[in-house]
Chains A and B, each alone.
Chain A
Amino acid sequence: MIQYQTQRLSLRFFMLMLVLFLVQVGFGLILGVQQADPTFLAGMLNFNVVRAEHLNLGLLWILAGFIGAIFFVGPLLSRRELVAPWLIKFLFWAFLVTVIWNVLTQGLAMRGIAGWWEGQPWLQEGLEYLEAGRAADIVILIGFAILAYVVLRSFPPVREWNEIHWGLGIGVVALTAIWVFGLFYIPRLDMQEYFRWFVVHYWVEGVWEVIHISLVGFLLVLLFKVDVKSVGYAVFWGVTLVWLSGLIGNAHHYFWIGTPSFWQFWGSLFSALEPLPLVFCFWHVYLDAHQNRRPLENAPAFYFILGSVVLEQVGAGILGFSMTFALTNVWSHGTWVTPGHAHLALFGTFGMLGLGAAYYAVPAVRGLKEFDQRLGRLGFWLVFAGILGIAFAFSIGGTVQIYAYRTLGLDWFGGDVFPLMSSWKLLVPLSGLVFLFGAGVIAFDLFTLGQRVPVSAAGRLPALRRATGWARPLSGFEVGIWLAGTWLFGGIVTLGLLSFNLPRVRVDGDPSLPYLLAWVGYTGLLLVTLLFVWRFLASMEGRVAEAEVAAQIPIASTTPA
Chain B
Amino acid sequence: MSCRDGERCDEGRKRLRALLVLGVMLVAFIVLSAFSFLGSRGQVTPNQFKFANFPADDGKHVFQSYNCMGCHTMVGNGAYFGPDLTEEYRKAGPAWLAAFLPSAGGWPTEAALKVQLANAVIAADAGTASLDEYYAKFPGARERVTRRTGATLMPNLPLTHEEVEKLIAYLKYTSAIDTEGWPPKVESGSLEHRLELAHRPTQLPVMATAAAAPVAAPATATASETPADPAAHGQALATQFGCNACHSTGTQRLVGPGWGGLYGSQVKLADGSTVTADDAYLAESILHPDAKVVAGFPKGTMPNYSGQLTDADVTALVAYLRSLEKPQ
Q: A126-B69, A194-B36 are in contact. Are A111 and B158 (CB under 8 A)?
A: yes
A48 beta carbon closer than 8 Å to chain B: yes
**Complex Cα distance A515/B36, Å?**
36
B166 to chain A, nearest CB (A): 11
Docked-complex contact A230 and B32, CB < 8 angstroms: no
Docked-complex contact B65 and A48, CB < 8 angstroms: no
B274 beta carbon closer than 8 Å to chain A: no
Residue from A236, A243, A251, A335 in contact with B80 in the complex, judged by beta carbons closer than 8 Å: A335
**Complex Cα distance A196/B188, Å?**
34
Q: A126-B66, A126-B67, A509-B194 are in contact. Are A257 and B205 (CB under 8 A)?
A: no
A466 beta carbon closer than 8 Å to chain B: no
B178 beta carbon closer than 8 Å to chain A: yes
Docked-complex contact B155 and A42, CB < 8 angstroms: yes
Point out the residues of chain B lying under 8 angstroms from A418, CB to CB: 153
**Complex Cα distance A128/B182, Å?**
20
Q: A189-B177, A230-B9, A266-B32 are in contact. Are A410 and B182 (CB under 8 A)?
A: no
Within 8 A of A (CB), among B34-62: 35-37, 41, 43, 45-47, 57, 60-62
Point out the residues of chain B lying under 8 angstroms from A42, CB to CB: 155
Docked-complex contact A126 and B179, CB < 8 angstroms: no
B269 beta carbon closer than 8 Å to chain A: no
Q: A112-B159, A126-B66 are in contact. Are A408 and B71 (CB under 8 A)?
A: no
**Complex Cα distance A39/B198, Å?**
24
Point out the residues of chain B lying under 8 angstroms from A250, CB to CB: 29
- Interface flags for B69-85 (1: CB within 8 Å of A; 0: not) read 11101111111111110
A96 beta carbon closer than 8 Å to chain B: no
Within 8 A of B (CB), among A359-386: none
Q: A189-B75, A410-B195, A507-B188 are in contact. Are A230 and B180 (CB under 8 A)?
A: no
A229 to chain B, nearest CB (A): 5
Residue from B4, B81, B180 in contact with A255 in the complex, judged by beta carbons closer than 8 Å: B180
- Interface flags for A218-237 (1: CB within 8 Å of B; 0: not) read 00000000010110111011
Point out the residues of chain A lying under 8 angstroms from B157, CB to CB: 110, 112
**Complex Cα distance A38/B199, Å?**
21
Nearest chain-B residue to A41 (Cβ)? B155
A413 to chain B, nearest CB (A): 6
A420 beta carbon closer than 8 Å to chain B: yes
Residue from A49, A51, A166, A244 in contact with B21 in the complex, judged by beta carbons closer than 8 Å: A244
Nearest chain-B residue to A236 (Cβ)? B11
Nearest chain-B residue to A257 (Cβ)? B75
Point out the residues of chain B lying under 8 angstroms from A477, CB to CB: none
On chain B, which size bracket covers the interface?
Answer: 35 or more
Q: A126-B63, A227-B5, A410-B195 are in contact. Are A247 and B25 (CB under 8 A)?
A: yes
Docked-complex contact A52 and B70, CB < 8 angstroms: yes
A416 beta carbon closer than 8 Å to chain B: yes
**Complex Cα distance A266/B2, Å?**
31
Q: A48-B67, A291-B2 are in contact. Are A112 and B189 (CB under 8 A)?
A: no
B187 beta carbon closer than 8 Å to chain A: yes
Point out the residues of chain A lying under 8 angstroms from B220, CB to CB: none
Point out the residues of chain A lying under 8 angstroms from B7, CB to CB: 229
Point out the residues of chain B lying under 8 angstroms from A110, CB to CB: 66, 157
Between-chain CB contacts (< 8 Å), 24 pairs: A47-B79, A51-B79, A51-B81, A109-B70, A116-B61, A131-B67, A189-B60, A189-B74, A190-B36, A233-B1, A234-B2, A244-B25, A247-B26, A258-B177, A263-B32, A263-B36, A283-B1, A330-B182, A330-B184, A334-B77, A404-B198, A409-B194, A416-B198, A509-B189
The 9 closest A-B pairs by CB, nearest first: A48-B70, A409-B186, A334-B76, A126-B64, A256-B182, A109-B67, A126-B67, A114-B65, A233-B3
User: B-side interface residues toward A, CB under 8 Å?
Assistant: 1-5, 7, 9, 11, 14-15, 18, 21-22, 25-26, 28-29, 32-33, 35-37, 41, 43, 45-47, 57, 60-71, 73-84, 91, 140, 144, 147, 149, 152-153, 155-159, 163, 173-174, 177-184, 186-189, 193-195, 197-199, 202, 205-206
